Amino acid sequence: MNTADRLRRLRRELRTKKIGAVLVSQPENRYYLSGFSGSSGYLFITGRKTVLATDFRYLEQAKREAPDYRLLETRQNLNNWLPDLLGSTRNGQIGFEEGYVTVAQHHQLSNALKKVRPGIELTPSNGQFEQLRINKEPYEIEQIRRAADLTRAAFEYAGKIMEAGISEQRLAWQIEVFLRERGSQALPFEAIVASGPNAALPHARPSERLLCEGEPIIIDIGAKIGAYCSDMTRTFCLGTPCETYQRVYHTVQNAQEAAISAVHDMATGQEIDSAARKVIEQAGYGAAFGHALGHGLGLSVHEPPRLGPGSDDLIKNGMVFTVEPGVYLSGWGGVRLEDDVLVTNGIASII
């Protein structure tokens, strides 16, 4: 991991925005900028300094994982260690993660600042860290590719062991064992196996329902390798699929292809979404595709860009995101197809 380069890019942005320092506490941002993987702590980054404040439980780990950071032990009372964290910083604006920091944390932090450094103001960082993470480095792409390859292998495995009479929960668990035994870290999200009418719920939890022949079975799973996520969906059918299934499946497949083809450098998230949506609408299923087309993925399984109605996120080379159209028919079930794509030379290809 090239922390130095990431810090350089962050500092360049800080100079542009005239922000003197940032306070980072969102786990993925923290990891991205320091290598520290513990579940609690603050990074304080200025133009020159990098400090990592964490509690007793993580000190040894922080020492190993974030050698470029000065370490600081936090104690219950913020006022006691905040001055040490801020060091000589006495004035100016400190960026914070407004999409992660809670109202209570913000309140506590501003109050403490008022006491120990009245010249400092907190200012929202406006998704600056997620923007840093949006362009994937070759190392990151490699990890996502490994996660995606493993997920593909898991779908192949699922296709082999799937049979009428096995429960959604059982199948989900067998897939999880497959992924974990082959190197996935704890799954980025709970595996979805949704069969028959349950497949009409885009985010169904695996239930005790037994798989039957002829009905749609949606499997949405991801792996995590080297801290990076994949997120993919396939829809299966045991036995002979009915006409509805074939028509819906075809529609979703065409929608996915249309969306992937629509990707170009500087396209908006909305543009790609509507390429898929148009295909589904034309097939008469417009109302049955109620969610967005996709989302970025990397250290988080959901991160920018967003591909959906109203999204003006710009698609650029080096981005990785999901393309996942779906059609859901209450009472019958649904079909979703999801792949992870990487944009290079203005073209999206499945990673």
Residue 304 and residue 319 in contact, taking contact as beta carbons nearer than 8 Å = no
According to the binding rule CB under 8 A, does residue 239 interact with a copy of itself? Answer: no
Residues 22-41 that bind a copy of itself (CB under 8 A): 37-39
Instruction: Give me the least distance between CB of 266 and a copy of itself, in Å please.
Output: 22
Nearer to a copy of itself, 58 or 285 (CB): 58
Instruction: Give me the least distance between CB of 342 and a copy of itself, in Å please.
Output: 25
According to the binding rule CB under 8 A, does residue 100 interact with a copy of itself? Answer: yes
The position carrying tokens 């993470």 is 133
Residue of 150, 125, 323 whose CA lies nearest to 224? 150
Instruction: Give me the least distance between CB of 104 and a copy of itself, in Å please.
Output: 4
Residues 138-167 that bind a copy of itself (CB under 8 A): none
Contact with a copy of itself (CB under 8 A) among 205, 209, 247, 264: 205
Token pair recorded at residue 151: 């997920």
Interface map 170-189 toward a copy of itself (x if CB under 8 A): ---x--xx--xx----x---
Nearer to a copy of itself, 188 or 298 (CB): 188
Nearer to a copy of itself, 100 or 157 (CB): 100
The burial class, CB within 10 Å (0-12 / 13-18 / 19+), for 208 is exposed
Residue 108 and residue 184 in contact, taking contact as beta carbons nearer than 8 Å = no
Residue of 231, 1, 22 whose CA lies nearest to 128? 22
- Give pairs for 213-217: CB < 8 Å, separation 24+: 213/164, 213/238, 213/239, 213/240, 214/238, 214/239, 214/240, 214/241, 214/242, 214/245, 215/245, 215/333, 216/241, 216/245, 216/248, 216/332, 216/333, 216/334, 216/335, 217/162, 217/193
Interface map 54-93 toward a copy of itself (x if CB under 8 A): -xxxx-xx--------------xx----------------
Nearer to a copy of itself, 204 or 323 (CB): 204
| Residues near a copy of itself, by CB under 8 A | 37-39, 55-58, 60-61, 76-77, 96, 98-104, 106-107, 124, 173, 176-177, 180-181, 186, 190, 200-205, 290-291, 308-310, 330
